[in-house]
Structure 1
Amino acid sequence: MVFFVAQGQNVKLLKGKVIAPGEDVTGVTIQNVSTKKATITDFEGNFSIEVRELDTLVFSAVQLKRKILPVTEPIFNSSFVRVPMQAFVNELREVVVLPYNLSGDLNTDAKAMNVAPVTAESLGLPNAHAKIPTQSERKLMQASYGKFNLGMLLSPPLDPLINMITGRTKMLKNRVAVDKKYAKTNAVEASIVDSLFLSELKIPKRKIADFMYFCEVDDEFQQLVSRKDQLLLWEYLLRRSKLYRENNELE
Structure 2
Amino acid sequence: MKYFAVFFFILVSQLIFAQGKEEASIIKGVIKDDNSGVLLSGINVINVNTVKGVITDNKGEFSMMAFANDTLHISLLGYKSIKVKVTNDWIKNKTTTIQMTEKAYALEEVVVRPYILTGYLEIDAKLIPTRENYRYSISGLHEGYEAGEYSPNAFGRVLGSIFNPADMLYNFFGKKPKELRRLKEMKKDDTVKNLLASKFDRETISALLGVTKSEIAEILERCNYSEAFVKSANDLQIMDAISACYEEYKILKR
* TM-score exceeds 0.5: no
Please, what TM-score do these two structures have when normalized by structure 1? 0.45
Please, what TM-score do these two structures have when normalized by structure 2? 0.44
